[in-house]
Amino acid sequence: MQDLTELTIKQAHEGLKNKDFTSVDLTKAYLEKIKKSDLNAYLSITEDLALEEARKADEKIKTGEFSILCGIPCAIKDAIMVEGQKCTAASKILENYVAPYDATVVKKLKEAGAVILGKGNTDEFTMGGSGENSAFGATKNPHDKTRVAGGSSSGPGAAVAANEACYALGSDTGGSIRMPSSNCGIVGLKPTYGAVSRYGLIAHASSLDQIGPMAKNVEDCKIIFEAICGKDSKDATSVDYKFEESDINLKGLKIGVPKEYFALRHGSGQVKGLDPEVEKIVKDAIKKAKEAGAEIKEISLPNAEFALACYYIIVPCEASANLARFDGIRYGLSEQDGNLLDVYLKSRGKGLGPEVKRRILIGTYALSSGYYDAYYKKAQEVRQLIKQDFAKAFEKVDLIFCPVSPVPAIKIGEKTDDPLANYLMDIYTISVNLAGLPALSLPAGKVGGLPVGLQIIGNHFQENKILSIASQMES
């Protein structure tokens, strides 16, 4: 008997078209799997609603006129609004908050006939790279349950990898789609800033946040991206962008390898912080591309070393402004007290977790009088330099290949006492967000049974190039 949860979007679509099974059959298979799971990939499951959506999809399928996503079950990160469902952002302050409207991406999926199984776990307010900052417990990695799934889109990543969803939507502020995709061995795309509407995503850092697809393979990733991209009147930063497939070949393609990402060596000859086995897997992938006819060029991103410091000033500044709205008055948890200031302090004190408080404190400090120019303004200047580095690199190369993460999935609890060590995990992903570029994590191999992702970075709005080459690398 075929396990329906192992099918890709394309395979499931063919099965529905050929009437081998119904969307209700498919949805029930996923729900059964979720019920037996102990991964903590979901924060809420909407069984009745999912089955109702599946029945509607089956009616549509009977007419013969239906989209490729019709009747296919998916998971949505719990920082993206789905009307009438809880949207907690994995925070106690929003524990019982119900979304009053659909995010634009959710609206588009619903119009395509998608079935939403539930809301995926995440780091609180999407702040974290491991998935351990969720107020409702860490997501476990399907490949080794003692390890993290990666963050912040930990639930969607684990759900897709464990066949608890056919695909998922995550969001990426500094690696939050690519990190869990790499750790869980799936394909995840962080689109160009503005390619996908952010309307209905609970804001973390508005100049960096981007919603994107997480899927079992490159083809599925492409299908979802095509369905959700484009201009949205409700998001002023979204761009009128239509995805068009392109047939780009590895032969003759110029691939850049940033020397800074492989250059910081100890006396032992090992790259500082980069696991030698991860380095080998990424270099083997680069070698395969070369054997297929690609031209490999060493490039320089001289300001890459400042990216982490730059990111961890800009992000807390934007987060402190965005999270000011969670004051115990308008949304979620409210600790009543005679004094208005005490309502604010008690509600936020009780409702927000340590990482969120840390970022609010850093951001408020950096934006305060006398420090704004020294920190925030300086970080924005460095951000421009990082953008220029990539612009210069893309004058010489078509795509950039590098690791997603310096190490495979870490053990749960391994770095919780050391926020800085956790921040260093984002070293290869954050520059992409600072520059607003698209990038994809592609499974490239395993270290001791743990997946490792190859990161493929493209120039602005060159998702077609990334997906086309990733598809060739995959096969």
Nearest CA among 394, 377, 374 for reference residue 438? 394
**DSSP type of residue 398:** S
Place of tokens 């000011």: 324
Stretch (H or E) spanning 161: helix 154-161
Q: Catalytic site residue 67?
A: no
The structure tokens listed for 87 are 């949207």
3-state secondary structure of 429: coil
Confirm if 430 and 175 have CB atoms less than 8 A apart.
Answer: yes
Find the DSSP H helices in 8-153: 9-17, 23-36, 47-63, 104-111
Place of tokens 């201009």: 231
C-alpha angle 235/201/90, rounded to 5°? 170
Round to whole Å and give the CA distance between 71 and 352: 37
Q: Catalytic site residue 77?
A: yes
Round to whole Å and give the CA distance between 254 and 437: 18
Catalytic residue among 28, 33, 77, 108: 77
3-state secondary structure of 191: coil
Catalytic residue among 23, 176, 181, 197: 176
Long-range CB contacts for residues 340-349, cutoff 8 Å, separation at least 24: 347/93, 348/93
Confirm if 400 and 255 have CB atoms less than 8 A apart.
Answer: yes
The structure tokens listed for 72 are 């296919």
Round to whole Å and give the CA distance between 398 and 69: 31
**DSSP type of residue 164:** S
Q: Catalytic site residue 471?
A: no
Confirm if 238 and 194 have CB atoms less than 8 A apart.
Answer: yes
Catalytic residue among 91, 130, 152, 431: 152
User: Measured in whole angstroms, how far is the alpha carbon of residue 121 from the centre of its chain?
Assistant: 12
User: Measured in whole angstroms, how far is the alpha carbon of residue 445 from the centre of its chain?
Assistant: 20
Cis peptide before 334 (omega within 30 of 0): no
The structure tokens listed for 92 are 């106690």
Round to whole Å and give the CA distance between 227 and 192: 15
Conformation bin of residue 101: beta by default, left when phi > 0, alpha when psi is -120 to 50 = beta
Active-site positions read 77, 152, 176
